[in-house]
Amino acid sequence: MSMIRDLRAAVRPPLTRHKAQLSAVLDDPVTGNCVVDCAVYRGGRRQPACANAEDAIRDVHSRGDGFVWIGLHEPTAAELAGIAERFDLHPLAVEDAVKAHQRPKLERYDDTLFAVFKTVRYVEHEHLTATSEVVETGEIMVFLGRDFVITVRHGLHGGLGELRHRLEENPELLSAGPSSVLHAVADRVVDTYLEVTQSLQDDIDDVENEVFGGRGSGDAGRIYQLKREVLELKRAVTPLARPLNKLSELPMRQVHPDIREYFRDVEDHLARVSEQVASFDELLTSILQANLAQVTVAQNEDMRRISAWVAIFAVPTMIAGIYGMNFDTMPELRWKYGYPMVMSVTLTVCLVIHRGFRRNGWL
């Protein structure tokens, strides 16, 4: 556990950026402008000699030690083709890396591992509406080989520059090879899941208080939208369990034995997130059903009140209708006390009916 704490702490301290090296890789003859950063690492330390991806690839292949880490952002098929050819990446994996919109997974192609992670980001908002976007998703693909790691990012969030520099501050971890980068990416992605679930918990608490706290029946549209956002998070979290289980349990040539043990810690965190997301889904389903039940009860209450008043006003309507027929043989028409008598009877009957409805809770 102390080794796990050291590894997790290594990817979190404050950082500085290598601006000169980052600007150099933007004019890369191999991958064009999709390169975010690239470097060669030997003994866990970044080598300053390589100015771009072409130089990094040549340096690793010529010396036969260390590994190269190339970071790409939304490359096109043409931009990724150069790297795919030099590192012998499988065409199916390359196609997935270009098209994106993949499920979290782990695939093995000969001597290369291809991992897909769904990144998530909580979208800040003042008030939750029926159209609010709460969870924004992206993707990080990782190609892992014996002497290289290639990260491909899709989306406007989930940048790995900060993670790279934090790893560079701990050469002992990077000396384990490319698999240390894979673990750091997985650990960062899962930690982000935890942050998003904590923020979602606040939104769910607000909705729950509105439905059950006496501040109104809530808005079914808002509840349904929040449930959809939770399902979006669930699609990112749940499928990742199997890949992490493989990385933590199955020996693989591409994963250093010491690093493999650390994936168990990431798997434990993912299990906690999965439980929270599942509970969110069930809770929102219950809240939505309770909200709909409250709406139904309110509508029934309104219908009962309307029905009660209709029954009350039916009495004078019926009497007025009878006397409105104007038959000549109706004795009450000529009677001196006929009008007061009819009005008294009408009022008495209405009061009796009204009292009965109030007693039964209809009014």
The residue ranges of every structural domain in the chain are 2-294, 299-359
Phi, psi for residue 47 in degrees, rounded to 5: -90, 130
Q: What pLDDT score was predicted for residue 50?
A: 64
pLDDT of residue 160: 85
CATH architecture classification, 299-359: Up-down Bundle (1.20)
CB 247 within 8 A of CB 129: no
Q: Which two tokens stand for residue 218?
A: 């809530």
Is the fold of 2-294 the same as that of 299-359? no
CA distance 356 to 363: 9
Alpha helices by DSSP H, listed for 100-219, are 161-168, 171-174, 178-212
- At position 332, the amino acid (one-letter code) is E
Could you give the angle at which helices 178-212 and 2-10 cross, rounded to 10 degrees? 90
Coil/strand/helix, residue 68: strand
pLDDT of residue 26: 40
pLDDT of amino acid 29 = 45
Q: How many CA atoms lie within 13 A of 359 on its CB side?
A: 6
Longest dimension (CA), the chain: 124
- Predicted pLDDT at 79: 84
Strands 67-73 and 148-154: parallel
User: The domain 2-294: what is its CATH number?
Assistant: 3.30.460.20
Provide the token pair at 164: 């790279």
- The answer to whether 162 touches 22, Cβ cutoff 8 Å, is no
* pLDDT of the chain, 363 residues: tens digit per residue: 444 444 444 444 433 334 334 343 344 444 456 788 888 888 888 887 665 677 777 778 777 778 889 888 888 888 888 888 888 899 999 999 988 788 899 999 888 999 999 999 988 877 777 777 888 889 999 999 888 899 999 987 778 888 888 888 888 888 888 999 999 999 999 999 999 998 888 888 888 888 777 655 557 778 888 888 888 889 999 999 999 999 988 888 888 888 888 899 999 999 999 999 999 888 888 888 887 777 777 778 888 888 888 888 888 888 888 777 777 777 667 777 777 888 888 888 888 888 888 888 777
**Residue 251 token pair:** 């020996």
- Containing H/E element for 208? helix 178-212
Cα–chain center distance at 114: 23
Amino acid at 237: V
